[in-house]
Amino acid sequence: MSDPVLPLGSASFDGLVEVREIGPQGMITLRGDLSAPEVIAAVTDLAGLEMPGLRGANTAGDTGLLWMSPDELLLLVPYRQAPAAVDRLTAALDGQHVLIVNVSDMRALFQLRGTQLRDVLAKLAPVDFAPEALPAGELRRTRFAQVAAGVWLLDDTTARVFCFRSVAGYMFSLLSTVADPDSQVGFHVK
């Protein structure tokens, strides 16, 4: 197996928040009946985490279960373990009506960290980023400017954003622009 290459070579920007390309990250899309006991057992056994509820993001390090829609889950696993994880899920869910696909190499992942995180994110997406509207551990699928993206908060000062790899450069540019100190809005309470 060749060594994975990040789309932007671990690009980073430090401004109102730190923007950093992270990865490589194993990502597996699972489509099916997320309430089926067999599906719940297979994914929770694989991840060692509880099944997330509506818009939930249960993560621990580079492992996680992200609720994407009523019939779609994104599983995060260590990058090199993704092919084996797909095989394991496929075997565990034999006979179930599911789709399991390794999407690791088609996504880019960014981490944003800083006290002005919510203000920075709010500049790009039609999402209410207030703490009571988007608490840590919840996921939103949205658009950042013209790019489809997913975002979840690990805590009050750390978020992860993913998008298609083909628009990684555009996404990094967007995130860096809205994190530029000269773009401060001033709503953040210090």
- pLDDT at residue number 174: 96
Number of independent structural domains in the chain: 1
**What's the whole-model pTM score?**
0.92
Q: Quick check: is 190 in a domain?
A: no
CA distance 51 to 47: 9
Q: What is the CATH number of the domain that holds 75?
A: 3.30.1360.120
Report yes or no on 186 lying in a domain.
no
Residue 6 falls inside a structural domain: no
Q: Specify the amino acid at residue 38.
A: E
The average confidence (pLDDT) of the chain is 94
Nearest of 139, 150, 138, 27 to residue 89 by alpha carbon: 27
Average pLDDT over residues 12-27: 96
Cα dist from 123 to 41, 117, 119, 143, whole Å: 39, 10, 7, 11
pLDDT of residue 185: 76
Does residue 86 lie within any of the structural domains? yes
How confident is the model over 157-180, as a mean pLDDT? Answer: 97
Quickly tell me which residue has 């805590």 as its tokens.
Answer: 155
User: CB neighbours of 148 closer than 8 A, spacing ≥ 6?
Assistant: 141, 142, 163, 164
- Nearest 5°: the CA angle 124, 108, 160 is 55
- pLDDT attached to residue 20: 98
**Structural domain includes residue 95:** yes
Residue 166 has a CB neighbour count (10 Å cut-off) of 12
Q: What's the first-to-final CA gap in the chain, in angstroms? A: 48
Q: What is the mean pLDDT of residues 162-174?
A: 97
pLDDT of residue 3: 79
Domain that holds residue 94: 12-181
Classify residue 4: in a domain, yes or no. no
- The answer as to whether 176 is a domain residue is yes
Q: Spell out the SS3 assignment of the chain.
A: CCCCCCCCCCCEEECCCEEEEECCEEEEEEECCCCCHHHHHHHHHHHCCCCCCCCEEEEECCEEEEEEECCEEEEEEEHHHHHHHHHHHHHHCCCCCCEEEECHHHEEEEEEECCCHHHHHHCCCCCCCCCCCCCCCEEEEEEECCEEEEEEEEECCEEEEEEEHHHHHHHHHHHHHHHCHHHCCCCCCC
**Per-residue pLDDT at 129:** 94
Question: Are 164 and 107 within 8 A, CB to CB?
Answer: yes
Asked, for residue 1, whether it belongs to a domain, the answer is no
pLDDT at 11 over 90: yes
pLDDT of residue 148: 96
pLDDT of 7 above 90: no
What average pLDDT does range 79-87 have in this prediction? 97
> 186 pLDDT exceeds 70?
no
What mean pLDDT comes out for the span 97-125?
96
